[in-house]
Amino acid sequence: MLDIISTTPCMPSYPHPQIQSQNLLLSLYCEEYHHQQDALDLAAKALDFFDVTDATEIARLIKKEFDGAYGPGWQCIVGTDFVSFVTHCSGCFIYFCISSLAILLFRGSAGPEVETSHFAALETLKA
């Protein structure tokens, strides 16, 4: 069964069959629920196609799909150990982990009127 640890109250349980046995940590700052749901669906789809170690292809797939669905400017960072400090459009920041794989998805911003900054860090414990 999928164990969900949510830092926001708006995200319900997520019973996707491809990640049911994983731990899912959600830290979402996204006003659109369907963006959150699509990010999780695309992560599961990417893990169907690519090995968990192929972070570049996972990020490429998620970014390409979000750009196509919601317009250009989406950025995606995937990995097991990274730190970021990004500026993004207000309400367009999604960060979640599936086991030790972290996925950061945000829409970049061009002007100060829509900018918000977030700091995301993941330190993976080496087994």
Domains of the chain (ranges plus CATH)? 3-122 (3.30.740.10)
pLDDT number for residue 24: 61
Which two tokens mark 20?
Answer: 């049911």
pLDDT at 37: 87
Distance between CA atoms of 7 and 47, rounded to whole angstroms? 23
Asked if residue 63 lies in contact with residue 103, where contact means CB atoms within 8 angstroms, the answer is no
pLDDT tens digits, the chain, 127 residues: what are they?
Answer: 233 344 443 334 444 444 444 566 665 556 677 888 899 899 999 999 999 899 999 999 999 999 999 999 999 999 998 887 777 787 788 888 887 889 999 998 765 544 455 555 544 433 3
The structure tokens 């993004």 sit at: 88
Q: pTM for this structure?
A: 0.68
